[in-house]
């Protein structure tokens, strides 16, 4: 028997080679094969099931996470998986756990900030998970401003130890994942004090729990910080708090690659350039951008498939109603998000290249591109995560009422995704960092300093300040050069305008604070330009597969023109684009939607998500939505009995008019 | 001892009479006193506690809801509360429950659609809760398109009964609140069939469960549809599914005020005008708009207070860091939401008046204003709920990392609020209805028909199509006439532009479908104009209290100018406003933020929310945030033991390198 496929007709409409698109999306044939294998491995393993996750109590959810983590480690050993395979397998398990922090933050912190000796001591234990570590930086009262941390590490020359202490309530470590219940160790950030002086924030490795029985060590108060957004979602993680009461650690537990404290208590800085530490930040943020395309693709896949299944209104002569994906209102909300998924994918790919490039340069002591690279990764992290968070919720709304059910997968996807907007740099704070570099770049133009990389267009600012858009017909908006110039003009003029306003302030910092929300908008414009330009660059490469390039061109244009429509005020304010040209862009956008429509389901098939990974009744590959919704409903805990618990105490007395005497 | 107040300094800065503002917010002295009394009654009653709600299992949460409902009924009886007091008390209990649907939908449906005889039979039982009812309209496959419902009610003249049946899976009733577990009866919408003919959708009263033991009656399959968005939130409600297998009911269980079926099975329509039914819709939507201001005010109150407590960066010479509310980036995101809360409040107040007015007219058989009133309430429901949903999430982000904790109150507020965007008319579908009436109004201008009420400005379309904004300096944007004209020009030109495009289509329906997303934008512009104009009208009344009017003027200007900034593309496209004038508006907006800043905490105090109702550690009246966050953390179920459940099975084997032999 043929497997059921309610979406077969949709799939037959595609005018491109879906299998080739899958490889483009994955990045390479190798990446596709590997991730396909891992996805199916996870999907077929009952220990990794997650369809009941939102119904578990906090304790059961946490225990389930511990079990999945152990099982993933076990499978990695049994199947002799590579590091890459193991990470990919874990990403398909799709449940935040202490292991993410152990692998993603604790180990890299030691690798980046430990001396060779320290690395030899700690890393083998960490790799083997003989110790489990977390990354304890954020405090109850201190997040973005790392320099404001209050935990102290005071050197005691008499015993050759540091005394770690939490002097105030607000100095309690707060939020670190894996800290609450699982970790035995932590990299802890604390203010170094020695010889009566404060040397700012340094990192220390500190044991928190006994390796014998897991109980907290003396002087350590540690626990879970409580419930977080949503059901399931990040509640699988033991984000924790941690307080120190004069805890003593050995001097060699300070991570000393960059700074040291000598036996005598003298603070010394090594000749390792501090900038090297930025490399890690670029790497982490590149991963976040890449993951944003992944989260967004899941939401878009669910909403697109369901929009093709769902029908509403428009029935003629008793025939079926219209698929909601045919409505322009649905298309104008959904297709820009579909296009964004692809745009962010390619931006992530490019960032990966950038990371390799900057790593090479740093090794050769070339720090010249670092500020620009920093701005670029900070900015892309900010705008891709903000856009993805909003997009997941928009996709949920696009699924109508049923999107509100947990089994749609979208509520949990939203709840688990949104911390991306806050961690690894609050998105607004990051945009202000971008703006700072933009203002510096504009200020240096006068001195003849040529901007590099993604800020290179600012070198053509004189041209950009004068040019006028040449669009006369809607289809003129399909030219990459036209789009690129429009985005460059917008970004350049917004930066220049901010710089001009700033120059009117006697104190530049006051000015920066005063116009900071304009600066944020200028930074957004700059970052959107980067994404548009990287998408266009991608399309200048050779792209194999029937029709694949055409589809990507359509999506690139949808991405750019929908942004233009959304931020029309920016574009019109520059004077480069007229209202008529803006209206033509909108007209072209409508035509593009018609081109995307028949390919929409296949464009989300190309993400190659398994039903397990999507975790959505509405996004099922086979489109058999209604039967599965009905089956899922029966699993509700409230359906264990016909008459609900509480009926006799709280409903029956009402019905029988005995409420006045009822004991509640 | 003085009670602790970390926000005392903020409160001392207010330049207006907060007590008077509380009365303005409540609507009257009477409304203030009553709601203040009810809020404190709920807050002081331990049965109504909700601080542990997000940690309860689904079953416990549902049972807790049944208990609170029964207790609320009991207190109503004991204290002899009026209907108004009782409703207000229930709103402060703040937990969705079957009683909302019983009182808000089941009873009104009988009141609106039942004959006098039917009302005499059913209403006394319903008022006394001898029966509990829900409103079963939506089906698994049918939401917005009520005419597409599939459930059938076939008249059997032999027995004088209707046979109620669910012919398909998609005809299963799906979503009705209170249906899953609590209701004994339902008003069910089904296709009336008699004499072999289909007479469309009608309403029937049907008993679902035994009044003896609450078990479902024969032929009835009923249950809960499962987990929904978030923890706590709407999971307190038993949204249900319902299937009928040839269930027989008496003929007089069809609600027959408007249409009847005779003993012989003849379908007859009474002379009661169908339009009367719209009155209820206006009433329900007015309540939704009013509730939007309430939900928004809660989120804004939390974010504002916490922004005044939270400090980050900017410490000088070891002094305290800067309050985050002092950052312009924070102000530019928060203050427009604060202004929106007030704007929606006054819009809701005006809608209440409109409801009274249209009710009077309908009684006098004057249906002339009905289309405009319909557009107005549909549109305001749509834009206030969409804006509120987005704003709650924005407020959560404004609280940084801690906003992600359940104890911030914001995750649950978001999860429980967002269905407002979907129920009682999907927000996009509603905006298209508004657009339809706008297009009709524009089309009728040629024939000389004068638009009424909120569409009256379209009667001045010739003037609006030509006029130019007179702003020369930033402060010119403070004139109500300038703001109003800008919004009128924008709305009028967007409607006219759509109408012109439509006239180019040979089939108007094709045109309407093709440009529907432009039509949605035109409808939004129209609705925002309504809210701005009602805020301005409010300020033309006498407003007592020192400084109160000035504050409201500032908020009105913030609301209008922040919308202008957000939708600048619309305004510039009209050609009425120049980019320079747009920049001046933005400049004025920045100045307004400085005026709002010292009054911000007092402006949210004026909402008079109790700490119980806010349910937020971050939004506490006394600002004692950090101590309470720490106290709350200890309540996490994971902190019941130092060593977590699962340690021995799933963590220890890893640490001891025994994972390969572990049984997981």
Taking the Cβ of residue B652 and every Cβ of chain A, the question of whether any pair is shorter than 8 Å is answered with: yes
Residues of A in contact with B636 (CB under 8 A): 58, 180, 223-227
The tens digit of pLDDT for each residue in A221-245 reads 999 999 999 999 999 999 999 999 9
Q: What is the pLDDT of residue B179?
A: 98
For A329, which of B47, B181, B517 is closest by C-beta distance? Answer: B517
Contacting residues for B553 by C-beta, under 8 A, at least 6 apart: B539
The tens digit of pLDDT for each residue in B201-249 reads 999 999 999 999 999 999 999 999 999 999 999 999 999 999 999 999 9
H-helix or E-strand containing B268?
strand B267-269
Q: What is the pLDDT of residue A370?
A: 86
Span of A479-493, B148-162, B352-366, B464-478 with lowest mean pLDDT: B352-366
Taking the Cβ of residue B455 and every Cβ of chain A, the question of whether any pair is shorter than 8 Å is answered with: no
- Copy the structure tokens of residue B98: 């079957």
Under CATH, what is the fold of the domain A107-272?
Answer: Butyryl-CoA Dehydrogenase, subunit A; domain 2 (2.40.110)
Please indicate whether, in this complex, the C-beta atoms of B144 and A234 are within 8 angstroms of each other.
Answer: no
Taking the Cβ of residue A172 and every Cβ of chain B, the question of whether any pair is shorter than 8 Å is answered with: yes
Q: What is the pLDDT of residue B372?
A: 85
DSSP label at residue B399: T
For A315, which of B148, B175, B649 is closest by C-beta distance? Answer: B148
Whether the Cβ atoms of residue A404 and residue B422 lie closer than 8 Å to each other: yes
Please indicate whether, in this complex, the C-beta atoms of A643 and B400 are within 8 angstroms of each other.
Answer: no
- Among A171, A231, A576, A617, most B C-beta atoms within 10 A, so best to mutate, is A231
Q: What is the mean pLDDT of residues A282-300?
A: 94
Q: How confident is the model at residue B1 (pLDDT cuts 50, 70, 90)?
A: low
| Residue A156, pLDDT above cutoff 70 | yes
Please indicate whether, in this complex, the C-beta atoms of B143 and A400 are within 8 angstroms of each other.
Answer: yes
| Residue B276, pLDDT above cutoff 90 | no
Whether the Cβ atoms of residue B245 and residue B221 lie closer than 8 Å to each other: yes
Nearest chain A Cα distance for residue B490, angstroms: 13
Q: How confident is the model at residue B165 (pLDDT cuts 50, 70, 90)?
A: very high
H-helix or E-strand containing B241?
strand B240-244
Taking the Cβ of residue A510 and every Cβ of chain B, the question of whether any pair is shorter than 8 Å is answered with: no
Residue of A nearest to B66 (CA): A650
Please indicate whether, in this complex, the C-beta atoms of A405 and B332 are within 8 angstroms of each other.
Answer: no
Q: Residue A368 — φ and ψ, nearest 5°? A: -60, -40
Taking the Cβ of residue A578 and every Cβ of chain B, the question of whether any pair is shorter than 8 Å is answered with: no
| Residue B645, pLDDT above cutoff 80 | yes
Whether the Cβ atoms of residue B395 and residue B417 lie closer than 8 Å to each other: no
| Residue B273, pLDDT above cutoff 90 | no
Taking the Cβ of residue B351 and every Cβ of chain A, the question of whether any pair is shorter than 8 Å is answered with: no
Residues of B in contact with A45 (CB under 8 A): none
Tell me how many residue pairs between chain A and chain B have CB atoms under 8 A apart.
390
Residues of B in contact with A138 (CB under 8 A): 401
| Residue B28, pLDDT above cutoff 80 | yes
H-helix or E-strand containing B135?
strand B133-136
Residue of B nearest to A497 (CA): B583
Which residues numbered 307-346 in A keep a CB inside 8 Å of some CB on B? 311-313, 315, 321, 327-329, 331-333
Residue of B nearest to A131 (CA): B655
Q: What is the mean pLDDT of residues B636-656?
A: 97
Q: How does B297-332 read in b/e, with b if 16+ C-beta sit within 10 Å? A: bbbbbbbbbbbbbbbbebeeeeeebbbbbebbbbbb
Question: Is A424 one of the catalytic residues?
Answer: yes
Interatomic CA distance for residues B649 and A52, integer angstroms:
21
Q: List the CATH code of the domain at A279-605.
A: 1.20.140.10
| Residue B323, pLDDT above cutoff 90 | yes
DSSP state string for B622-642: T--HHHHHHHHHTTSGGGGSS
DSSP label at residue B425: S
Q: What is the mean pLDDT of residues A12-22?
A: 98
3-state secondary structure of B481: helix
Q: How confident is the model at residue B626 (pLDDT cuts 50, 70, 90)?
A: very high
| Residue B275, pLDDT above cutoff 80 | no
Span of A140-144, A335-339, A659-663 with lowest mean pLDDT: A659-663
The tens digit of pLDDT for each residue in B184-207 reads 999 999 999 999 999 999 999 999
Q: What is the pLDDT of residue B368?
A: 85
Please indicate whether, in this complex, the C-beta atoms of B636 and A328 are within 8 angstroms of each other.
Answer: no
For B573, which of A77, A568, A655 is closest by C-beta distance? Answer: A568
The tens digit of pLDDT for each residue in B96-134 reads 999 999 999 999 999 999 999 999 999 999 999 999 999
Residue closest to A139 by CA, chosen among A112, A176, A100: A176
Q: What is the mean pLDDT of residues B289-308?
A: 98
| Residue A1, pLDDT above cutoff 60 | no
Interatomic CA distance for residues B344 and B608, integer angstroms:
17
Nearest chain A Cα distance for residue B418, angstroms: 9
Span of A93-97, A474-478, B144-148, B514-518 with lowest mean pLDDT: B144-148
Q: What is the mean pLDDT of residues A265-271?
A: 93
Contacting residues for B368 by C-beta, under 8 A, at least 6 apart: B361, B452
| Residue B511, pLDDT above cutoff 70 | yes
Q: What is the mean pLDDT of residues B237-262?
A: 97
Nearest chain A Cα distance for residue B145, angstroms: 6
Burial of A658 (0-12, 13-18, 19+ CB in 10 A): exposed
Taking the Cβ of residue A570 and every Cβ of chain B, the question of whether any pair is shorter than 8 Å is answered with: yes
For A148, which of B315, B418, B630 is closest by C-beta distance? Answer: B315
What is the model's pTM? Answer: 0.98
Q: What is the pLDDT of residue B2?
A: 64
Domain with CATH 1.20.140.10 in chain B: 279-605
Distances (CA, A) of A359 to A109, A122, B79, B479: 17, 24, 73, 57
Q: What is the pLDDT of residue B211?
A: 98
Span of A292-296, B163-167, B275-279, B542-546 with lowest mean pLDDT: B275-279
Residue of A nearest to B47 (CA): A664
Q: What is the pLDDT of residue A351?
A: 94
| Residue A274, pLDDT above cutoff 90 | no
Taking the Cβ of residue A67 and every Cβ of chain B, the question of whether any pair is shorter than 8 Å is answered with: yes
Interatomic CA distance for residues B270 and B283, integer angstroms:
24
Q: Tell me the β-bridge partners of A241.
A: A174, A223
Q: What is the pLDDT of residue A2?
A: 64
Q: How confident is the model at residue A283 (pLDDT cuts 50, 70, 90)?
A: confident
H-helix or E-strand containing B480?
helix B480-503
Q: Which residue has the tokens 């548009």?
A: A532
Residue closest to A604 by CA, chosen among A305, A392, A292: A305
| Residue A520, pLDDT above cutoff 80 | yes
The tens digit of pLDDT for each residue in A317-346 reads 778 999 999 999 999 999 999 999 999 999
Residues of A in contact with B618 (CB under 8 A): none
As a whole number, the mean pLDDT across chain B is 96
Which residues numbered 76-115 in A keep a CB inside 8 Å of some CB on B? 77-78
Q: What is the mean pLDDT of residues A398-414?
A: 98
Please indicate whether, in this complex, the C-beta atoms of B238 and A138 are within 8 angstroms of each other.
Answer: no
Distances (CA, A) of B351 to B380, B531, B626: 9, 11, 41
- Copy the structure tokens of residue B520: 């949605």
Q: Residue B275 — φ and ψ, nearest 5°? A: -55, -25
| Residue B3, pLDDT above cutoff 80 | no
What residues of B are labeled active site?
Answer: 424
Residue closest to A378 by CA, chosen among A501, A561, A520: A520
Q: What is the mean pLDDT of residues A430-434?
A: 97
The tens digit of pLDDT for each residue in A470-492 reads 999 999 999 999 999 999 999 99
Q: What is the pLDDT of residue B317?
A: 76
Nearest chain B Cα distance for residue A233, angstroms: 9
Nearest chain A Cα distance for residue B473, angstroms: 16
| Residue A611, pLDDT above cutoff 60 | yes
Domain with CATH 2.40.110.10 in chain A: 107-272
Q: What is the pLDDT of residue A8?
A: 97
**C-alpha A628, offset from chain centre:** 30
Q: What is the pLDDT of residue A663?
A: 85
Handedness of CA B427, B432, B438, B440 (dihedral sign): negative
For B58, which of A55, A71, A426 is closest by C-beta distance? Answer: A55
For A644, which of B169, B181, B570 is closest by C-beta distance? Answer: B181
Taking the Cβ of residue B180 and every Cβ of chain A, the question of whether any pair is shorter than 8 Å is answered with: yes
For B225, which of A169, A180, A405 is closest by C-beta distance? Answer: A405
Taking the Cβ of residue A66 and every Cβ of chain B, the question of whether any pair is shorter than 8 Å is answered with: yes
Q: What is the pLDDT of residue A316?
A: 78
Residue of B nearest to A399 (CA): B422
Considering chain B, what percentage of its residues have pLDDT values greater than 70?
100
Q: How confident is the model at residue B663 (pLDDT cuts 50, 70, 90)?
A: confident
Q: How confident is the model at residue B538 (pLDDT cuts 50, 70, 90)?
A: very high
Please indicate whether, in this complex, the C-beta atoms of B226 and A635 are within 8 angstroms of each other.
Answer: yes
Q: How confident is the model at residue B352 (pLDDT cuts 50, 70, 90)?
A: very high
Taking the Cβ of residue A30 and every Cβ of chain B, the question of whether any pair is shorter than 8 Å is answered with: no
Nearest chain A Cα distance for residue B549, angstroms: 27
Among residues A349, A394, A424, A485, which one is catalytic?
A424
Residue closest to B306 by CA, chosen among B382, B404, B223, B385: B404
Nearest chain A Cα distance for residue B60, angstroms: 9
Span of A451-455, B164-168, B367-371, B399-403 with lowest mean pLDDT: B367-371
């Amino acid at each position: 028997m043929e497997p059921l496929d309610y979406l077969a007709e949709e799939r037959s409409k595609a005018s491109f080679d879906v299998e080739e698109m899958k490889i483009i999306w994955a990045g390479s044939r190798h990446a596709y094969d590997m991730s396909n294998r891992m996805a199916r491995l996870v999907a077929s393993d009952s220990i990794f099931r997650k369809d009941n996750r939102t119904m578990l109590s906090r304790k059961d959810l946490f225990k389930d996470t511990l079990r999945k983590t152990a099982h993933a480690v076990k499978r990695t050993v049994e199947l002799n998986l590579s590091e890459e395979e193991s990470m990919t397998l874990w990403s398909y398990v799709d449940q935040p756990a202490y292991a993410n922090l152990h692998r993603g933050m604790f180990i890299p912190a030691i690798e980046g900030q430990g001396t060779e000796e320290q690395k030899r001591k700690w890393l083998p234990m960490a790799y083997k998970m003989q110790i489990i570590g977390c990354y304890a930086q954020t405090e109850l009262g201190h997040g973005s401003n790392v320099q404001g941390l209050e935990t102290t590490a005071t050197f005691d020359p008499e015993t050759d130890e540091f005394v770690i202490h939490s002097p105030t309530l607000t100095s309690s470590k707060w939020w670190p994942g894996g800290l609450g219940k699982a970790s035995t160790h932590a990299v802890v950030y604390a203010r170094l004090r020695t010889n009566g002086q404060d040397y700012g924030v340094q990192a220390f490795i500190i044991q928190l729990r006994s390796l014998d029985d897991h109980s907290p060590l003396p002087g350590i108060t540690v626990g879970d910080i409580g419930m977080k957004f949503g059901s399931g979602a990040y509640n699988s993680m033991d984000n924790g708090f941690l307080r120190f009461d004069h805890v003593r650690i050995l001097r060699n537990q300070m991570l000393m690659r960059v700074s040291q404290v000598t036996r005598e208590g003298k603070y010394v800085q090594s000749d390792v350039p501090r900038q090297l530490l930025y490399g890690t930040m670029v790497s982490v943020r590149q991963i976040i951008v890449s993951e944003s395309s992944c989260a967004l693709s899941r939401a878009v896949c669910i909403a697109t498939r369901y929009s093709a299944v769902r029908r509403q209104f428009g029935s003629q002569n008793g025939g079926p109603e219209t698929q909601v994906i045919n409505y322009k209102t649905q298309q104008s909300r959904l297709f820009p998000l579909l296009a964004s998924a692809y745009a962010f994918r390619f931006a992530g790919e490019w960032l990966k290249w950038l990371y390799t490039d900057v790593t090479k340069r740093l090794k050769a002591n070339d720090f010249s591109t670092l500020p620009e690279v920093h701005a670029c990764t900070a900015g892309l992290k900010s705008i891709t995560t903000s856009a993805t968070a909003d997009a997941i919720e928009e996709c949920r709304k696009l699924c109508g009422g049923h999107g509100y059910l947990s089994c749609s997968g979208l509520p949990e996807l939203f709840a688990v995704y949104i911390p991306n907007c806050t961690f690894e740099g609050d998105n607004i704070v990051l945009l202000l960092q971008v703006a700072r570099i933009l203002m510096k770049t504009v200020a240096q133009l006068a001195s003849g300093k040529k901007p590099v990389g993604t800020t290179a267009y600012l070198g053509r600012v004189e041209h950009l300040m004068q040019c006028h858009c040449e669009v006369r017909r809607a289809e003129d908006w399909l030219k990459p050069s036209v789009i690129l110039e429009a985005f460059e003009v917008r970004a350049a003029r917004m930066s220049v305008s901010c710089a001009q306003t700033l120059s009117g302030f006697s104190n530049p910092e006051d000015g920066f604070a005063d116009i900071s929300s304009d600066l944020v908008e200028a930074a957004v414009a700059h970052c959107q330009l980067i994404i548009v330009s990287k998408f266009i660059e991608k399309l200048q490469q050779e792209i194999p597969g029937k029709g694949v390039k055409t589809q990507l061109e359509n999506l690139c244009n949808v991405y750019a023109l929908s942004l233009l429509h959304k931020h029309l005020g920016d574009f019109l304010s520059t004077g480069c684009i007229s209202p008529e040209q803006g209206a033509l862009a909108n007209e072209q956008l409508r035509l593009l939607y018609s081109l995307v429509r028949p390919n929409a389901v296949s464009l989300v098939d190309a993400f190659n998500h398994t039903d397990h990974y999507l975790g959505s009744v509405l996004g099922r590959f086979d489109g058999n939505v209604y039967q599965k919704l009905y089956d899922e409903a029966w699993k509700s805990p409230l359906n264990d009995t016909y008459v609900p618990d509480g009926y006799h105490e709280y409903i029956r007395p009402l019905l029988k008019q005995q409420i006045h005497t009822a004991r509640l």
